[in-house]
Structure 1
Amino acid sequence: MKNIKTKIISIAILSVMLLVGSCTNDILEETPRSIFTPDFFKTELGVQGGITALYTQLRYSYGNMGYYTAKEDGTDEYAYGASGQDDSNAILDFSGRGGVMNAQTGAIGDMWFNAFPAINTASGIIENATEVGLSDALIAEARFFRSFNYFQLVQNYGGVPLDLGAGELKFNTSTNRGSVRNTVPEVYTKGIFPDLLTAINDLPVTPRLTGTVTKNVARLYLAKAYLTYGWWLQNPNNIPTYPEAPRTDPDGHDPAWYFQQAYTIALEGINNPGPYALQEYFYDVHWAPNDRHSEMMLYADHTEDSEKYNGASLSWGNSTYQDNSAVWLVTWNYTFLDQVDREAAQDYGRPWTRLAPPHGVFKNTFKEKEFDSRYDGTFVTVYRNNRDKSGDYDKHPNANGLLTGPGDAVFTFLKEENPAVDFTDGNATGGGTLPGRADYVINPSGFNRIVYPGLWKLGTYRTDNEGGLGSPNAGSTRPFPIAKFSEFYFVAAEAAVKGASGSMTAKELINVIRARAGKWRYNNAEKQEFIADFSEDMKDATPANIDIDYILEERSREYFGEGYRWLDLVRTQKWAEIAGTYEISGTGFSDRTPQVVTRTIEPYNYLRPIPQGQLDSMEATEAEKAAYQNPGY
Structure 2
Amino acid sequence: MKRFKIKTVIGATAAALLLGACGDILEEQPRSGFEPSFFQTERGVYGGLTSMYAHLRYIYGQAYYYNTTLTGTDEVTYGQSADENFLVMDLSGRGAINPTNSRADALWGAAYSNINTASGIIENAAVVGTISPALIAEARFFRAFDYFQLVQTFGGVPLDLGAGELRFNTNPVRTSVRNTVPEVYTKAIFPDLLTAVNDLPATSRVTGGATKTLARLYLAKAYLTYAWWLENPNNIPTYPEAQRVDPDGHNAQWYFQQAYDVATTGIDDPGPFGLLDYYYDVNLGSNDRNKEIMLYADHTETSEFYNGSSLTYANGGAPDNFAGWMMTWNYTEIRSSSSSTSWNAVSSVQREAVQHLGRPWTRMAPTIGAIKNTFADKTNDSRYDGTFVTVYRGNWPKGGVANSTLYNANLLPVQPGDAILTFLNDEPATPITYPTGGGQNNVGAGVLPGRADFVVSPNGISRIMYPGLWKLGPYRTDNGNGLGQPNAASTRPFNIAKFSELYFVAAEAAVKGASTQAGKTARDLINVIRARAGKWRWDNNGNVAKVQDNSAAMVAATPATIDINYILAERSREYFGEGYRWFDLVRTQKWNELASTYQISGAAKGDHTPETITRTIQPHHYLRPIPQGQLDAMDVSLAEKRAYQNPGYN
Q: Please give the range of the TM-score, normalised by the shorter of the 2 chains.
A: over 0.9
Which of 402, 405, 416 matches 2:426?
416
1:162 and 1:560 map into 2 onto residues whose CA distance is 33
Alignment correspondent of 2:189: 192
1:287 and 1:242 map into 2 onto residues whose CA distance is 41
Aligned length: 614
Alignment correspondent of 2:4: none
Alignment correspondent of 1:399: 409
Gaps of 5+ in 2: 1-13, 336-347
Superposed CA deviations along residues 374-430 of structure 1, whole A, max 9, x for unmatched, are 000000000000112123352111001111121010000000001422225763211
1:8 and 1:445 map into 2 onto residues whose CA distance is 47
Alignment correspondent of 1:148: 145
Amino acid at match of 1:67: Y
2:526 and 2:358 map into 1 onto residues whose CA distance is 33
| Superposition pairs of residues 114-513 of structure 1, within 5 angstroms | 114-133=110-129, 134-338=131-335, 339-393=348-402, 394-420=404-430, 421-423=432-434, 427-503=441-517, 504-513=520-529
1:488 and 1:411 map into 2 onto residues whose CA distance is 38
Which of 602, 609, 616 matches 2:618?
602
CA displacement at 1:41 relative to structure 2:
2.4
Alignment correspondent of 1:21: none
1:103 and 1:143 map into 2 onto residues whose CA distance is 29
Alignment correspondent of 1:108: 104
CA displacement at 1:614 relative to structure 2:
0.4
TM-score, reference length from structure 1: 0.96
Q: Is the 8 A contact 2:80 2:464 kept in 1?
A: yes
Alignment correspondent of 1:631: 647
2:107 and 2:17 map into 1 onto residues whose CA distance is 12
Amino acid at match of 1:111: L
Q: Whose helix proportion is higher, 1 or 2? A: 1
More deviation, 62-71/232-241: 62-71
2:138 and 2:32 map into 1 onto residues whose CA distance is 19
Superposed CA deviations along residues 458-503 of structure 1, whole A, max 9, x for unmatched, are 1111000111100001110111010000000000000000000221
For 2:90, what is the secondary structure of its paired residue?
coil
Q: Is the 8 A contact 2:15 2:116 kept in 1?
A: no
For 1:8, what is the secondary structure of its paired residue?
coil
For 1:114, what is the secondary structure of its paired residue?
helix
1:6 and 1:549 map into 2 onto residues whose CA distance is 37
| Superposition pairs of residues 495-574 of structure 1, within 5 angstroms | 495-503=509-517, 504-574=520-590
Superposed CA deviations along residues 158-208 of structure 1, whole A, max 9, x for unmatched, are 000000000000000011111000000000000100000000010001011
2:146 and 2:89 map into 1 onto residues whose CA distance is 23
Alignment correspondent of 1:81: 79
2:415 and 2:319 map into 1 onto residues whose CA distance is 38
CA displacement at 1:3 relative to structure 2:
3.6
Q: Is the 8 A contact 1:2 1:617 kept in 2?
A: no
Amino acid at match of 2:148: F
Q: Is the 8 A contact 2:74 2:370 kept in 1?
A: yes
Q: Is the 8 A contact 2:18 2:633 kept in 1?
A: no
1:426 and 1:302 map into 2 onto residues whose CA distance is 40
Q: Is the 8 A contact 1:426 1:432 kept in 2?
A: no
Which of 68, 71, 86 matches 1:70?
68
Gaps of 5+ in 1: 18-30
For 1:373, what is the secondary structure of its paired residue?
coil
Amino acid at match of 1:226: Y
Amino acid at match of 2:611: Q
2:440 and 2:423 map into 1 onto residues whose CA distance is 14
Amino acid at match of 2:143: R
1:176 and 1:586 map into 2 onto residues whose CA distance is 49
Amino acid at match of 1:422: T
Q: Is the 8 A contact 1:5 1:175 kept in 2?
A: no
1:423 and 1:632 map into 2 onto residues whose CA distance is 44
Alignment correspondent of 2:55: 57
Q: Is the 8 A contact 1:377 1:456 kept in 2?
A: yes
Amino acid at match of 1:253: H
Superposed CA deviations along residues 294-336 of structure 1, whole A, max 9, x for unmatched, are 0000000000000100011111112111100001010000001
Q: Is the 8 A contact 2:19 2:630 kept in 1?
A: no
For 1:72, what is the secondary structure of its paired residue?
coil
Q: Is the 8 A contact 2:134 2:200 kept in 1?
A: yes
Amino acid at match of 1:519: K
For 1:299, what is the secondary structure of its paired residue?
strand
1:323 and 1:544 map into 2 onto residues whose CA distance is 44
Q: Is the 8 A contact 1:607 1:630 kept in 2?
A: yes
For 2:69, what is the secondary structure of its paired residue?
helix
CA displacement at 1:368 relative to structure 2:
0.5
Amino acid at match of 2:171: S
For 1:510, what is the secondary structure of its paired residue?
helix
More deviation, 151-160/433-442: 433-442
1:175 and 1:61 map into 2 onto residues whose CA distance is 24
Amino acid at match of 1:72: L
CA displacement at 1:6 relative to structure 2:
7.0
For 1:284, what is the secondary structure of its paired residue?
helix
Alignment correspondent of 1:26: none
Amino acid at match of 1:348: L
Q: Is the 8 A contact 1:5 1:172 kept in 2?
A: no
Q: Is the 8 A contact 2:391 2:421 kept in 1?
A: yes
Q: Is the 8 A contact 2:79 2:603 kept in 1?
A: yes
CA displacement at 1:106 relative to structure 2:
4.2
For 1:376, what is the secondary structure of its paired residue?
coil
Q: What is the percent sequence identity of the aligned residues?
A: 62
For 1:472, what is the secondary structure of its paired residue?
coil
CA displacement at 1:105 relative to structure 2:
1.1
Superposed CA deviations along residues 550-583 of structure 1, whole A, max 9, x for unmatched, are 0000000000000000000000001111111100
TM-score, reference length from structure 2: 0.93
2:18 and 2:497 map into 1 onto residues whose CA distance is 29
1:171 and 1:255 map into 2 onto residues whose CA distance is 32
- Aligned pair in 2 of structure 1 residues 365, 426: CA closer, same or farther (>3 Å)? farther
Q: Is the 8 A contact 2:102 2:625 kept in 1?
A: no
2:515 and 2:28 map into 1 onto residues whose CA distance is 49
Q: Is the 8 A contact 2:19 2:112 kept in 1?
A: no
Alignment correspondent of 1:93: 90
1:452 and 1:564 map into 2 onto residues whose CA distance is 21
